[in-house]
Amino acid sequence: MELYAFPFAGGGEHCYRELEPYLTHATLKTQALPGRGRLLNKPCLRRLDELLDFLLAGIAFDLHKPYAFFGHSMGAFIAYMLTRKIIAYHLPAPKLLICSGRKAPTIIDADPKHVYPTSAFRAMLQELGGIPELVWQDEDLMALFEPIIRADFELIETTYYQTGAPIELPIHLLLGRQDLISSVDAYAWQQETTLPLTVSYFSGGHFYFQQDWQSLANKINSILATC
């Protein structure tokens, strides 16, 4: 099975590389996004429809193979919205979705963080975690990554989510116990699927898996084993 993995804000095609050695039921395929990694010379996409079209063009010819979607934070939202687009186009849908570290898409954040001044934006990123200390200590690296992360936040925060018919696919939600996502916002994912939502908690905050990739992989392996 193919496991297409979509990056979190600021993440690139290698952001889940530590996960790959532990996967036993799938081949990991992390999707490269414009504006980073090998696509650094391309402008970041700031509108969801443009990004979904870009991603779908890259995988459309492989959707006849069994596959599933995984994404963390922004990546979870992308995975879900891309699934809806695939279903609307009557293409073969994923077997299931694994959504990590993301509140339900119906929960709108009224505080647009992509317009924060630099000091407030970086303070917010530090609270979330996920950026290596080496990057924080290098102003040149931060100057490179900050606009990319801002563009990703803009993409999410300017998307007008239109509620549609729930999909007939399993959704598995993975969360850190110390993440700032309430149970109400988490279980609102149930509105997006006709099947029972499953929710699993891990020790840690928003980037709970960065200290224990194997636990995340074990959960993903057990989920994919049900396909």
Task: Output the pLDDT for position 160.
Answer: 83
E strand intervals along 63-209: 67-72, 97-100, 171-176, 198-202
Contact by Cβ (8 Å): 104, 132? no
Pairing type for strands 97-100 and 171-176 reads parallel
Q: Please state the pTM of the whole predicted model.
A: 0.94
Mean pLDDT by groups of 10 residues along the chain of 227 residues: 95 93 94 88 94 96 95 96 97 98 91 90 87 82 89 92 92 96 96 97 95 96 93
- Residue pointed to by tokens 């290698």: 14
* Closest by CA position to 101, among listed 186, 19, 160: 186
25: Cβ contacts below 8 Å, ≥ 6 apart: 1, 220, 221, 224, 225, 227
Q: What is the CATH number of domain 2-108+163-222?
A: 3.40.50.1820
Contact by Cβ (8 Å): 35, 42? yes
Contact by Cβ (8 Å): 198, 172? yes
Domain ranges of the chain: 2-108+163-222
Helix (H) or strand (E) holding 122: helix 118-128
Class of residue 116 by CB neighbours under 10 A (exposed 0-12, middle 13-18, buried 19+): middle
Question: How far is residue 224's CA from residue 218's CA, in Å, rounded to a whole number?
Answer: 10
Give start and end residues of each alpha helix (H) in 92-182: 118-128, 133-136, 139-157
Tokens representing 109 are: 């954040």
Tokens representing 206 are: 């928003």
